[in-house]
Structure 1
Amino acid sequence: MSTLRLAPLSLTLVTAGLAACGSMSGTGSMPMAAPFSQEILPDAVKVPTGHRVAWETVGVGEITYECRAKAGAADAFEWVFVGPKADLRSRQGRVVGSYFGPPATWAAQDGSSLTGAQLAVAPAGSGNIPLQLVKANPAKSLDGKGDLLGVSYIQRVATRGGVAPATACNGMAQGSRQVVQYQADYIFWKPV
């Protein structure tokens, strides 16, 4: 099993504009968020104007990959993304939801959840999964309330780890799975 040790979020990230904005209240409403600066992000993963940050979380978990034959390439193999499994934590470290898939699903502890479609990615540095912009599908909730209702976009930023394993993927390893650790900030946006 491939593993990667992750350190807690550093002060550098906080000063880069990823400052704490609070956590879920558990009452079905989101607290007002401190403005999140997109200035340091590549244009491809920026949320369009007319939206505001509704919630900031830190996803801490793992991504599973499977060694599979490459389509259309004889005797060639590759690690293929199978799915994520992560806790969503407030900036204070309290678990406030989860992230899993497929399909990629974000679920708040109040019972609301949503899926989304990837719009764009941008490199995040060697050894890190890419930054990502997702267009949210309408959220679901059992009682018509919930913190994820009205979310329009989700950004994955400040990624650490999560890339496919460096171990060999060949005919002998075909069908085997490897789990790698990762961390990323998930920023949830709503229309203004």
Structure 2
Amino acid sequence: MKLAKRLVLTTTALAAVATGTLLSATTGQAAASQPARSGVDAPAALKVPDGNRLTGVFSAKGVQTYTCTDGAWKLLEPAATLSAKNDRSHRPVALHSRGPVWVSTQDGSAVNATSVANSPRTGTIPELLLKATATRGTGVFAEVSYVQRLDTRGGVAPTTACTGTDQIGVPYSATYAFYKPAN
């Protein structure tokens, strides 16, 4: 039953996000031509190690889903769509969900990652540096080594108490930058 509820919640959140207006970002050729550690403005704590190059920057819009645990809101999962700036139709190019994982809607490639550093921001979820733990496929997310979550807006858990198994989706937006080994 919990899996079915989670699937419905995630599917509903992604469908709602897919119909919304997405923020702008750069991707493709322009991002690949940037120097290895530049192209995006990130706090020092979130800098990607030398030996990696920026390969894509996407805008994301979605929700941070929280569930009630012991009377407090706890992060359950993100649900967001990523879009490229140069696509005027704002067609989703990737989906972001629990794992965290990003899956390309264009080629099926995927990257899982884990947070290795964060930079708190007032009134919004923190910016993050994530290190890839696994990749699949041969497309846009193949061989991704690091992901940065930057320019975050919203997504903060409610401060009110909760009861039972309540869940809530809090809208957020961010910029995700993907890096691959420079070799």
TM range (shorter): 0.7 to 0.9
**TM-score normalised to the size of structure 1?**
0.73
Matched position secondary structure for 1:139: strand
The aligned counterpart of 2:157 is 164
Distance between the aligned counterparts of 1:146 and 1:33, measured in 2? 18
SS in 2 for 1:122: strand
Aligned residues: 157
Q: Which protein is richer in helix relative to its size? A: 2
- After TM superposition, the structure 1 stretch with the greater mean CA deviation from structure 2, 152-161 or 90-99, is 90-99
Give the match for residue 3 of structure 2. none
Partner of 2:4: none
Taking the aligned partners of 1:8 and 1:85, their CA distance within structure 2 comes to: 14
Q: 2:117 aligns with which of 109, 120, 124?
A: 120
Which residue is equivalent to 1:151? Answer: 144
Cα deviations by residue, 1:86-121 (Å, 9 ceiling, x for unpaired): 1011123331111011x2110012011111111011
Aligned residue runs from structure 1 range 44-63, under 5 A: 44-63=45-64
Misfit runs of 4+, over 6 Å: none
How large is the Cα RMSD of the aligned pairs? 2.4
Q: Which has the higher contact order (CA 8 A, sep 6+)?
A: 1
Contact 2:117 2:129 in 1 (8 A): yes
Structure 2 residue 97 is the aligned partner of structure 1 residue 97: no
Identity of aligned residues (%): 34
Question: Matches of residues 32-51 of structure 1 in structure 2 within 5 Å?
Answer: 32-35=32-35, 36-37=38-39, 40-51=41-52
C-alpha spacing 1:129/1:59, structure 2 compared with 1 (3 Å): same
Q: Distance in 1 between matches of 2:74 and 2:31?
A: 38
The CA distance in 2 between the partners of 1:21 and 1:146, in whole Å, is: 14
Q: Which runs of 5+ in 1 are unaligned?
A: 1-5, 11-18, 24-29, 70-76
Distance (Å, rounded) in 2 between the aligned partners of 1:163 and 1:104: 17
Check the 8 A contact 1:138/1:149 in 2, yes or no. no
2:103 pairs with 1:107: yes
Query: Larger strand proportion, structure 1 or 2?
Result: 2
**Structure 2: stretches of 5+ with no match in the other structure:** 1-19
Provide the C-alpha distance between the structure 1 equivalents of 2:77 and 2:26, rounded to a whole number of angstroms.
Answer: 27
Residue 80 of structure 1: aligned partner: 74
**2:168 alignment counterpart:** 178
Contact 1:99 1:105 in 2 (8 A): yes
2:145 & 2:177 partners in 1: Cα distance? 11
